[in-house]
Amino acid sequence: MNYELKNIPRHIAIIMDGNGRWAAERGKERSFGHQAGVDTVRRITSECTRLGVKYLTLYTFSTENWNRPADEIAALMGLVLTSLEDEIFMKNNVRFQVVGEIDRLPEPVRIKLQETMDHTAGNTTMTMIVALSYSSRWEITKATREIARDLRDGKISEADITEDLISQHMVTNFMPDPDLLIRTGGELRISNYLLWQIAYSELYFCDTYWPDFMEEDLHKAIESFQNRQRRYGKTEAQVEGKEE
């Protein structure tokens, strides 16, 4: 590892893409790729805790994914249940959280998610967030409706509506915005993921399918992040302290 551990992203978000194509290239059903993807989640979660990442958010199932074939959805829901049986959370002292339209999920999945969140609530090394039945447009719409109700009921005024207030109404309000967003699988799009939160995130795209994404691939993404200058609208000279 050539990169400096002192500049590890605090929050890494990942779009785990390529499971289905990985399976198809091997003559297997898409569910085979999703199962292999769970193994990658275990590897990357362990490595992130070792490196000192504090938040890891994984795009697991979007609201648009409900349009997929019923058998694939059933297989994915089954994988959610079995993967949460894994002791990786306790072994790595990882707290588990979930964001999304949880009410749309099957009852056994909802119960297991809550049990896992309760079981890991005291873990402190890293928080792993699963975006499940999630889309950013759903989240922003939900936040807008909540703010509109508060405005109607006189709880807030128009002047109270700020970026901070909007962020407080996001389902992700318990975590910082991502420093680094990684997308695997070769596609160059965000796919309705954390659109509000990644305003100033560094983006990293790679061709590697998620089942083949190894620790070395994570290291490359982090190295890329560390070689960039995050300016947040300022000039390079301002960031470097050369301009008053």
Residue 240 in tokens: 């470097």
| Residue 2 annotated in active site | no
Residue 68 in tokens: 């997929």
Order of all β-strands in the sheet with 126-134: 94-99, 126-134, 55-62, 11-15, 180-183, 202-205
Q: What is the pairing mode between strands 94-99 and 126-134?
A: parallel
With H, G, I as helix, E, B as strand and everything else as coil, classify residue 15.
strand
Catalytic residue, chosen from 7, 17, 103, 150, is: 17
Structural element, H or E, at residue 14 = strand 11-15
- Interatomic CA distance for residues 232 and 9, integer angstroms: 16
| Residue 17 annotated in active site | yes
Catalytic residue, chosen from 2, 7, 19, 65, is: 65
* Distant-in-sequence, close-in-space partners of 222: CB < 8 Å, separation ≥ 6: 3, 8, 9, 51, 180
Q: Which residues are catalytic?
A: 17, 65
